[in-house]
Amino acid sequence: VFFVAGINKVNFHCVTNNTAHRTIEITRKQLIVRRGQPFLLTLEMVQPFSVRDTLLLTVETGSAPSERHGTRSQFGNPSAKYTSDAKAIWKYEIDRSAVLERGIVALSVTPPTDAPVGKYSLSAMTHGETRNLGTLVVLFNPWCSGDWVYLPDDRERQEYVMNEEGTVYIGTSHYIGSQPWIFGQFEEEMVDICLKILDANLKHRKDPAGDTSARCNPVYVSRVISAMLNSNDYEGVLVGRWDGNYSDGCSPTCWTSSVSILQRWFQNRCNPVTYGQCWVFATVMCTVMRFFGIPCRVVTNFQSAHDSNNTLAIDEYYNDYGVRSKEASESVWNFHVWVEGWMKRPDLMKGGIYDGWQVLDPTPQEESEGVFCCGPAPVNAILRGDTDVKYDVPFVYAEVNADIVKWMVCTSTGVVVPIIKKGSRGCATTVEGSHSSASARKSMPRCWKGVSVR
């Protein structure tokens, strides 16, 4: 509650609103709301108020807010006239708790379901004066049916959005080990850290207006997060290392929490943290995704192939005597860890068959459209073998379903002939980390190599 000239007091009802919007675990001091869901705002005027009086609210986000980009909206009384290309239109109604004759104007304000996520300024114009009221943060809303990240099952929302602890599975398909992990997505510092991750990405630096506008789309946001969690491009969070030399940093096995990694990156002026491997990249991404409200889970794939040339196969070369004669650019890992985020995919124009869980992988393996990131790749596209679907479905399909092709290179002639071509990797077992970690839970029904696991 604070004073503003022309408006006696402003009350954001942070505790009440944040409780209703399931953000109270983040903070009680700052308003953090989810799009598509109303929140209460009370203005105490210096004089009685009438419904006919002018009261226009304006929200803005980003460095160049505009109605055309959905990053600015002016709404209230009199009703604003929007151009045909205006996006993300906010609204308010007089709340029943208002006492207008005493100048107590209680408003029920609703961010639209297509509002870009991020930090907004809020101002009010009344009695010919415009005054800044403060700021608020808007997140995705998996509880709202109109949001692209809507997840119908409340138990899954609790697990994949609200749960701050989990388990990561590592090891081999014959000996599955586990490691507890603290995601900590609701630590108060996560607000500034996660918003900084979006602002530090290359697309924002090249086109800040377009990038801020695109944050209405979880497909875009999750792709940005995937790129920003590794440091292969610019100011990413983690440096990957696999050679065993970690003397100038921390071994990937030392980490047990996303919070300490993200804090170190943020406090060190966005210099990347050393070091991470696949399960560290994935768990930190899960933290950021859950903070923004995108349902997310950590997934481990055992016997995971790395296909570097989009052949959907792993090529191995041997000489006449059966000795590997060519250094492999492709490999099969004992295990690899990524995340899956839940969202609709209207960009694919297929009647919703690709909605739902999407594979995202922040571990830097191959470039995707010139950037080290991967996904979102629809799980259903991988199951169906639809390798023409965005993003990076062939690469992920090969991770779980690649054949190993063995070639013989004739020493005298250099002729290369196939000697074995079969699905010798067998079934890639994919398990999902959960809070109730008594045993490895198999994630979505899968049919890798014709074997279905749950």
Predicted local confidence at residue 1, as pLDDT? 54
Concerning whether 199 is annotated as a catalytic residue, the answer is no
pLDDT value of residue 414: 66
CA distances in angstroms from 228 to 90, 195, 400, listed in the order given: 30, 12, 25
Per the residue annotation, which of 147, 307, 355, 361 is the catalytic one? 361
Q: Delineate the domains of the chain, giving CATH numbers in brackets.
A: 2-139 (2.60.40.10), 154-182+217-453 (3.90.260.10)
Q: Residue 185: is its pLDDT beyond 60?
A: yes
pLDDT, tens only, 214-247: 999 999 999 999 999 999 988 899 999 999 999 9
C-alpha triplet 106, 108, 109: angle, nearest 5°: 125
Task: Give 125-180 pLDDT, tens digit per residue.
Answer: 997 889 999 999 999 999 999 999 999 999 999 999 999 999 999 999 899 999 99
| Closest to 343 (Cα-Cα) out of 321, 360, 364 | 360
Distance CA 410, CA 317 (A): 10
Structure-token pair, residue 366:
């191959």
| Catalytic-residue membership of 361 | yes
* Set 216, 278, 296, 427: catalytic member: 278
Q: For helices 218-228 and 278-292, what crossing angle results, to 10°? A: 140
Q: Are 25 and 186 in contact (CB under 8 A)?
A: yes
Query: Could you give phi then psi for residue 41, rounded to 5 degrees?
Result: -135, 125
Question: Cis before residue 391, ω within 30 degrees of 0?
Answer: yes
Residue 82: predicted pLDDT: 82
Tokens 């997140």 belong to: 139
Q: Which of 272, 281, 316, 313 is nearest to 402 (CA)?
A: 313
Q: Which of 36-45, 255-264, 324-333 has the lowest mean pLDDT?
A: 324-333
Q: What is the pLDDT of residue 320?
A: 74
pLDDT at residue 5 above 90?
Answer: no
Contacts of 30 (CB under 8 A, 6+ apart): 14, 135, 136, 137, 191
pLDDT tens column, 365-407: 999 999 999 999 999 999 999 999 999 999 999 898 877 777 7
pLDDT tens digit sequence for 87-102: 999 999 999 999 999 9
Catalytic one among 211, 336, 392, 403?
336
